[in-house]
Chain A
Amino acid sequence: MKLKREHALTLARLGVIGGAVLLVEALCRSGVINPLTLLPPSRMAADLFGLLASGQIAHDMAFTAGTIGAALVLSIALGFGLGVLVHALPRVRRALDPLLASYYSVPFFIFYPLLVAIFGLNAFPLVVLGMAFAAPAMMMSTMAGLDRIPRVLLRVARAHRLSRVETVRQIVLPSAAPYLFTGMRLALAYTFIGVIAGEFIMASSGIGHAIAYAYEGFDNNTMYALMLLVLVVVTVINMSLHAYETRLAKRRARA
């Protein structure tokens, strides 16, 4: 019975998304929506295919992927390190608490022009922007994970006279893993948003820049094809990570 509901939900979701795409397609084809405003989705897909095949956007894609990769690795490392450090220093943590609570209320993109003025118009300010956006999420997830290690497990480790390294490997990391994984997933989403938004506002290459450039050149075909590319890539990554996380949680529950 439960499986049936799962199936019904998946079907309904596909129906909603497919219906929305078909509706837009029909409205565009029938001329209700002006082709200068929005292109039919089938057209976007065809344009995207053409762009990918021509290799025109390979350079921008590589630039964006490299920037996101660098920002992601650095924010995970920095966020994890800071999380462990601050977790070990309760006094510092208490002082930082209000700061962390309001960190994400500050619209960080406003710093981007400043970063460009400081570092120049290259990938570096984009990496810094992505890190400023993603590292705190990783840091807070790390601290949350370390907070939630069951006391009893640490006592078991002491009873077994595990060394410090062994305790970390056998007890701390496995208990904190789900939180660390959530932190990494957030960090990925945030670096994506940070880097692409930065490219969009001010940059010399990258997918975000290509979209802004196409908009300014009234090149709707390229613009919508690139938007579709971003939507598809982000959705596929998010869905696979989500599916992996769910499977991990199920295995944990069974074990």
Chain B
Amino acid sequence: MSATADVPARTTPARRRSGSWDGLILLVLALLAWQGMHLYVGEAALASPVKTLTFLAGFLRGPVFWGHFAATLAAFGWALLIGAVGGIVIGLVLGERRFAGDVAEPILAGLYAIPKVTLYPMILLIFGLGMSAKVAFGVIHGIIPIILFTMGAVKTISPVLLRAARAMRLTRRQTALEVLVPAVLPEILTGLRIGFSLTFLGVLIGEMFASQRGLGFLIVNGINLHNVPMTTGMILVIVLFALAANGLLLWLHRRFGGPSATPEHA
């Protein structure tokens, strides 16, 4: 995913002001495109922005939405937790053991590139219909980039840093906390950001296929029942959620990534 994670550089206030204008213009353009698309394809395929927002205003007040939202959020939360902890631990171990890491890297990269959707029936057969299948599917989407980025971060730590730590006679604990963690944090954050998006994708696809709960189910259900505002509204909710989460993670990256953050790598 070499091109997917460009972290915009720090901006000056003047640039930021023109940036927020740009954002506004983009938003207006997106709304116009949406309205135009609606006029072009008709009421039966895509609801207009006004109608979608009116529908959402009512739907978000009822209990139905929040039940499905909670189901998606719970599956996503577990999948992300398992993927993040497992990915970072495996990545640290593989990064430290050169040979094992070199053996694993192309295998993991190969697994990363296969269309994992096709494996979903197998997950369903193993875990059964329901929550655990969705979680497992989210994990297999998200864990590999987290492993790869963590591994890469540990492998490329500059030996100078470790030598400096030894020269200053830092304890193991101090070395880990003061040297290793800050050195690998930016890359791990990038891995987590990509893992976050892919885990979300995995959980939603899981819900769109063979599920009775969650936002992904609501989209497919809206199509099947010809409830166009429902489908359009749920897509809007998911897009906004994804953009907000990604914005937050980008901000975290800039805040804690430090000067050594390497956007090209992502």
**Number of A residues with CB within 8 Å of any CB on chain B:** 64
Q: Is the CB of B2 within 8 A of A186?
A: yes
Which residues B6-59 have CB closer than 8 A to chain A? 6-8, 15, 18-19, 22-23, 25-26, 41, 44-46
Residue-wise, chain B 165-194 has the 8 Å CB interface mask toward A (1 for contact) of 000000000000000000000000000011
Q: Which residue of B lies closest to A188 (CB)?
A: B113
* Interface membership of B60, Cβ < 8 A: no
A112, closest chain B residue (CB): B208
The reply to whether A196 and B231 form a contact with Cβ atoms under 8 Å apart is no
Chain A contacts for B46, CB-based, 8 A = 114, 117-118
Q: Determine the chain B residues whose CB is within 8 A of the CB of A104 once the complex forms.
A: 1, 4-5, 194, 197
Contact assessment for B250 and A102 in the assembled complex, using a CB-CB cutoff below 8 Å: yes
Q: Which B residues from 110 to 138 make CB contacts under 8 A with A?
A: 110, 113-122, 124-126
* Cα–Cα, bound, A196→B1 (Å): 19
Q: Give the residues from 74 to 125 in chain A that come closer than 8 angstroms, CB to CB, to chain B.
A: 94-95, 97-107, 109-111, 113-114, 116-118
Check B115 against A230 for contact (C-beta < 8 Å): yes
* Cross-chain contact B231 with A98 (CB below 8 angstroms): no
- Indicate if the CB atoms of B125 and A38 lie closer than 8 Å: yes
B219: which A residues are within 8 A, CB to CB?
Answer: 110, 113
- On whether the beta carbons of B26 and A95 are closer than 8 Å, the reply is yes
Q: What are 22 A-B interface contacts by the 8 Å CB criterion?
A: A17-B107, A95-B22, A101-B7, A102-B243, A102-B246, A102-B247, A102-B250, A103-B4, A104-B1, A107-B200, A110-B235, A113-B220, A136-B3, A137-B3, A137-B4, A141-B3, A144-B3, A196-B117, A215-B121, A224-B122, A227-B119, A235-B110
Sample of 18 further A-B pairs with CB below 8 A, known A136-B3, A197-B115:
A16-B103, A38-B122, A97-B6, A98-B19, A98-B23, A109-B205, A114-B46, A118-B46, A182-B2, A183-B3, A186-B1, A189-B113, A211-B121, A212-B121, A227-B118, A227-B121, A234-B114, A238-B110
Closest 9 CB pairs of A and B: A140-B3, A105-B246, A95-B22, A215-B121, A107-B201, A197-B117, A104-B4, A105-B197, A117-B45
